[in-house]
Structure 1
Amino acid sequence: MSPARRFVASLRGGNPASWLSIAAVLALLGFGAYQSYLAPEIGGRVVAILVDENQEVAAGQVILRLDRADTEARVERGRADLAAARNKMMSGEAAAASSDAQGKAAEVAVWRTGRELERVESLVERGAASKQQLDAARAEHDAAKASARAFAMQAEAERAELGNEAPVKQAEASLREADLALARTELVAPFDAVVGRKTVHLGDIVRPGQALLALRRREPSWVVANFKETQLRRMTPGAQATVYVDAFPGYTWWGHVESFSPASGAKYALIPPEPAAGNFTKVVQRIPVKIVLDEVSNGDGKHNVIEGTAGAPQLAVGLSARVTIHVR
């Protein structure tokens, strides 16, 4: 048995005098529900609006589409940049391998010219070779050593470049950003909801963060009742409540107190009242009390759970009502 039904049974079968009713007559206040405003994360031109006001939508359903031309171009450019970065890395690997091969050939040349220099020096000592031949052998050996050093430095630089994956990672990140921007050209419902006010039209240029339409979450409704501060002494979370909505005479809603506001309603006003020093007039403050609705009855004695009940009246945000809290 739900809390509301247990309360009804105890109220009807027990001693009514043991209950105290604290009423907020015309103190309401307003029906509420969790309401969100759908806004794009990127800017662009609206090319399709797939819902109307007051239409029910499911979580994940596409509600609106923006022009995809720019974002599709960004995706193609990102793919090309990534391919170029990967090709450059592969070319660097080939260049490094070529430099290694050239370096080995240069080392062989150093060894060969060194042996030739030793042979010419031996011939010069025996008078079998001229000084010009010795100078030529030394020059060739020095050139081979310089070439070997150059190839070694080039190979080292190319191997160091191979270890730098930053260009590829940067291109991958840019492509992910472009894919994300492309996905964000479609605005989807984040939860099951009913479309409220719509402030966007086909062809509008919208900016990131601009509220385009309101979504009322399909969850049990709640009421915020502004009780006088002198009425709160015996109220506690979980206390049962009855709600009568002006728009639906003959229906009774049953609910429970969920929470109390940490400040009076006046403190949340756009310009909170601040009495001047020496000119204070005591005014009874009202504290917002949140009441979650559990069940509804149309006078036939049947209590239906609000969530998922097809026959229950659809409560709009902002309706007025009368609330009574029952405390011991």
Structure 2
Amino acid sequence: MSDQQPANGGHGAANNKRRRQLTLLGGAVAVGLLGYGAWWLAFDSHYVETDDAYVGAETAQVTALSPGPVAKIFVVETQAVKAGDPLVIIDDADARIAVAQAEAALGQAERKVKGYFASDTALAGQFEARQADVARADAQIVAAKADVDRARVDLSRRQALVGEGAVSGDELTTAQNRLANAQAALNAAQAGRAQALASRDAAIGTREVNTVLISGVSVTENPEVKAAQARLDAARLALARTVVRAPTDGVVARKSVQVGQQVAMGTPMMAVVPTAQAYVDANFKEVQLDKVVPGQPVVLTSDLYGGGVKFHGKVRGLAGGTGSAFSLIPAQNASGNWIKVVQRVPVRITLDPAELAKHPLRVGLSMKAKIDVAEGAK
């Protein structure tokens, strides 16, 4: 019995030591958990992050704005270009002919309208001449009426003397003929006046029509001239568009045009990716978005540069729907066999241009995004 007591005492001491160690370990774990909880409440709870994020950009599609064969290409894939740099030249022979035709049409329109102005003076003279014809016809009518009155009086006198034998039959006949001739002359004068009035009215109408064509505007502002000028401007624009220029700064991508290729208006030729205006679309889980609002700061890293290079941006906005809602074949959750899946919503993040210039990114690169939701939280 005495030999076993030391053994039992040693075993108890070992158990006590083990308990103390477990207690210390449990205490350390508890302190660690409390510390982590405090750290999470104080710091990590203010952030949401995801590695489901990718670089994007508003890619500019370069298309042909004038039809024709491609004469020259100035760029290749991956080449950096500035806005306005020539990319492609389309053969401009047809466009130059169209410009020449439009210039000739404009010249004809200007001469035609100048003719309207010159005709106005001539038509004014014609009106005055027709007015003079009316006045002359009025004078002829007055003279003809006087002749008729004189012939009628002469005939009456002779008719009164016929019974006395003082006037022969020939003289009476002559007087009758004279009256008839005078009446005919009066009728002719009246017809001439009617014709003169009709000619005057026609001259008035012709001048009014001409006046409508020129009234209130100069030669250059005349509608016919302006229409011809518009056609010339369109032809010149088509000629200018035979030189296809870069719509923005960026990098050439998806070049699909070759020299000699016949292109129609709207044919895609290449794309220009504005890498200096790149953004990030970060796909956060729906459970992470309750405090995300536009304007919150974001820290990002890329797989390209690693964690040593940090990009700083801001939340621009949240998409109007989840990624699955806008997919090519949206999920049909009412079909029967349904399993709930946490959805993701794209969050657009703008980047600092200075940092992009220092560390350029390319469309499609993977990113990690961490949003500080403590700022501007709901």
TM-score, with normalisation over the residues of structure 2?
Answer: 0.70
CA distance in 2, matches of 1:103, 1:323: 86
Q: Which residue of 2 aligns with 1:93?
A: 117
Structure 1 residue 224 corresponds to structure 2 residue 248: no
Distance 2:363 2:331 in 1: 27
**Residue 135 (structure 1) aligned with residue 184 (structure 2):** yes
Partners of 1:254 and 1:293 within 8 A in 2 = yes
8 Å CA contact 2:137, 2:192 repeated in 1:
no
The 10-residue stretch of structure 1 (196-205 or 127-136) with the greater mean CA deviation from structure 2: 127-136
Give the equivalent residue in structure 2 for 1:71.
95
How far did 1:208 drift?
Answer: 2.3
Distance in 2 between residues matched to 1:194 and 1:65, nearest whole Å: 19
* Greater Cα radius of gyration, structure 1 or 2: 2
Residues 1:156 and 2:205 are matched in the alignment? yes
User: CA offsets per residue over residues 272-327 of structure 1, 9 Å max, x none?
Assistant: 111234422111111212223338xxxxxxxxx31443xx2x31111123333344
How large is the RMSD of aligned CA atoms in angstroms? 2.7
1:180 alignment partner in structure 2? 237
Matched, 1:110 2:156: no
Distance 1:22 1:315, change over 3 A: same
| Correspondence 1:29-68 to 2 at 5 A | 30-68=54-92
1:292 to 318, 325, 350: 350
Specify which structure has the higher proportion of strand: 1
- For the 8 Å contact 2:303–2:366, the answer to whether it is kept is yes
In 1, distance between residues paired with 2:208 and 2:113? 11
Partner of residue 6, structure 1? none
What secondary structure, in the 3-state scheme, does the structure 2 residue paired with 1:266 have? coil
1:317 aligns with 2:366: no
For 1:180-239, what per-residue CA distance to the aligned partner results, in whole angstroms no more than 9, with x for missing partners?
222222222232222222111112222222321111224343222222222223434344
**In structure 1, C-alpha distance between the alignment counterparts of 2:234 and 2:272, rounded to whole Å:** 27
Q: Is the deviation greater in 263-272 or in 215-224? A: 215-224
The CA distance in 1 between the partners of 2:206 and 2:251, in whole Å, is 62
Bigger helix fraction: 2
The AA in structure 2 aligned to 1:198 is K
Per mean C-alpha deviation after superposition, the further-off stretch among 222-231 and 131-140 is 131-140
Which residue among 149, 157, 176 is the counterpart of 1:125?
149
Change in Cα spacing, 1:152 to 1:242, as seen in structure 2 (3 Å) is same
Tell me, which stretches of 5 or more residues in structure 1 are unaligned? Answer: 1-14, 296-304
Change (3 A) 1:169 1:327: closer
Residues 89 and 162 of structure 1 are in contact (CA less than 8 Å); yes or no, is this contact kept in structure 2?
no
* Aligned position for 1:273: 331
Greater shift in the superposed pair: 174-183 or 139-148: 139-148
Structure 2, unpaired ranges of 5+: 1-37, 155-177, 214-221
1:213 equivalent in structure 2: 270
Q: Counterpart of 1:153 in structure 2: which amino acid?
A: A
The 8 Å contact of residues 245 and 251 in structure 1, kept in 2 or not, is answered as no
Distance 1:200 1:251, change over 3 A: farther
Deviation at 1:151, TM superposition (A): 4.2
Give the deviation of 1:36 after TM superposition.
Answer: 1.3
